[in-house]
Structure 1
Amino acid sequence: MISLFRKIRQKLLKENRITQYLAYAIGEIFLVVIGILIALQINTWNQQRIENDEELEILFGLKEEFENNLEEINFSIIINSKVTEDCLQLTQLIRSNSIENNPELVDELLVRVGTFNSFDAQTGVASEIVNSGKLNLLRNDALRTQIVNWLTLLVDQEEDILFRSDNYTMNLMPFLMERFPLANGELTKKLPYDKKDYLKTYPEKSPFKTQLVEADYLEFENQIWHHKHNNDYVSVNELNIKDFINITLKMIEGELNRKK
């Protein structure tokens, strides 16, 4: 094709047809420019198609991840709400001076207040798209902001989770270990994740008895209240996280529906 164009130009020059030569040269340039523009447009379409496919893959990955997180947060909310209920029931026993009269129930409650749960979110897809710079593949500005806020939200909740755990380990447990035969809780202990009954427990009660003096009751109530107080912060955070997950899922599903 290039050889043909060259021959035509040479023929026009030999015949001294300058005007036609210039017109032809301009036309040739125009055709080259059009070809370049078409090639660029095709390349743009291909790039957009690739980005659309990548965005779709990311959206499906985020959807699955947030659906798994919704299931896990619902489980955690149920477990931690039971801890709050157990703390309230234990407080009623303390205030009514019924600790010694209900040893089996107290043993069970002391185990249950310690079976709190920590929501461990899946963040593989969200972290990967943020850290790899693929976040811009999401065309929805609000969804991009939501993903960044999601990772920040999880960091913020860690403080309350750690505070609850540290308080339980360093304050409540030492108090209980000096005054209660905690091994009795083994007779009723059931861990939420032990769905196949792998757990092996003690077959009989401890021979030791509860050792509470009158001055211990106020501290006992305060220790249980403090544990409940810390657990309440975690529980409220989890309810807020659940709302956040539901909103995010709606945004993701909206984008997927738009692409159908």
Structure 2
Amino acid sequence: MVIGILIALQINNWNNEAANKRDEQNIVKNLNLEFKKNRKNLQESIKHHKQILSCATDVMNLIGEPKEVLNKHNLDSLLERTLDYRSYKPSQAVVLDVISSGKLNLISSDSLRLLIFDWSSNLEKNEENYLTLDESNQDLVLTYLIKNASMKNIDNYGILQWNKKTKLYHDNYNMSQDIEFENVMDNHSWSILNYIMALENLENTMTRIIEETNKNF
């Protein structure tokens, strides 16, 4: 009778282990798919923000140039482009379910579990860097442009598409000779670069998670 009970317990343990193994395989597979999709979107976001930084660099290079040089470029269009930053919001349905449900313990790979914790931490840092960029834009860039530029002319190249410039007199040349404008754009460029670096750090963690999950299914 005792032997029968022991056998039954052993079979039950085998069944539980087999079920846990199946659950682990499903979790790892779903994590792999989620992070592959996220990485594609993240790479597009990095590319987008590098283009924004390039436009900010073009603006910086025009500051202090003579009027005939400035007139060869569309400063309003460049400025609109530098304002087109976006928050990166990845899909987290799988990873949040794994963490909140306690299923993280089913993952046998120590390195994968640590990478998931790193991902959550890096995502928080990324959001902090985005907020720094947004606050810098709101408090410095837009505050300056509202006083010294034509927002209608700038927004003409964005979603508003006025198709007409302001009827009021405005000349970007005076702004391009202002040290405050240079300082504002320098700070904005730094904030954009800082955000790009945070996104690239996310991409690195994401790639390592994908590589780790590829080993397990």
Return the TM-score normalized by structure 2: 0.92
Residue 160 of structure 1 pairs with residue 129 of structure 2: yes
Residues 141 and 188 in structure 2, CA contact (< 8 A), matched pair in contact too: yes
Deviation, 1:213, is 4.0
Q: Which one of the candidate residues 18, 22, 34 is aligned to 1:53?
A: 22
- Bigger relative contact order, structure 1 or 2 (CA pairs below 8 A, ≥6 apart): 2
Instruction: Give the corresponding residue for 1:252.
Output: 213
Deviation, 1:224, is 0.5
The sequence identity of aligned pairs, in percent, is 25
Query: For residue 71 of structure 1, what is the amino acid of its counterpart?
Result: K
Q: Which one of the candidate residues 222, 227, 235 is aligned to 2:196?
A: 235
Instruction: Give the corresponding residue for 2:32.
Output: 63
Residues 179 and 210 in structure 1, CA contact (< 8 A), matched pair in contact too: no
Unpaired segments ≥5 residues, structure 1: 1-31, 190-198
2-structure distance, mates of 1:212, 1:149: 47
Residues 130 and 148 in structure 1, CA contact (< 8 A), matched pair in contact too: no
Deviation, 1:171, is 1.1
Residues 130 and 195 in structure 2, CA contact (< 8 A), matched pair in contact too: yes
Q: Which one of the candidate residues 138, 159, 162 is aligned to 1:202?
A: 162
Residues 156 and 163 in structure 2, CA contact (< 8 A), matched pair in contact too: yes
2-structure distance, mates of 1:107, 1:158: 28
- Spell out, residue by residue over 1:8-54, the C-alpha distance to the aligned partner (whole angstroms, 9 max, x if none): xxxxxxxxxxxxxxxxxxxxxxxx12211211111111111211121
Residues 93 and 99 in structure 1, CA contact (< 8 A), matched pair in contact too: no
Aligned residues: 216
CA RMSD of aligned residues (A): 2.0
Aligned pairs (5 A) from 1:32-181? 32-98=1-67, 101-102=70-71, 105-181=74-150
Higher CA-based Rg: 1
- Spell out, residue by residue over 1:147-189, the C-alpha distance to the aligned partner (whole angstroms, 9 max, x if none): 1111111112221110110110111101111111121234433
Deviation, 1:131, is 1.6
Deviation, 1:237, is 1.1
2-structure distance, mates of 1:96, 1:211: 12
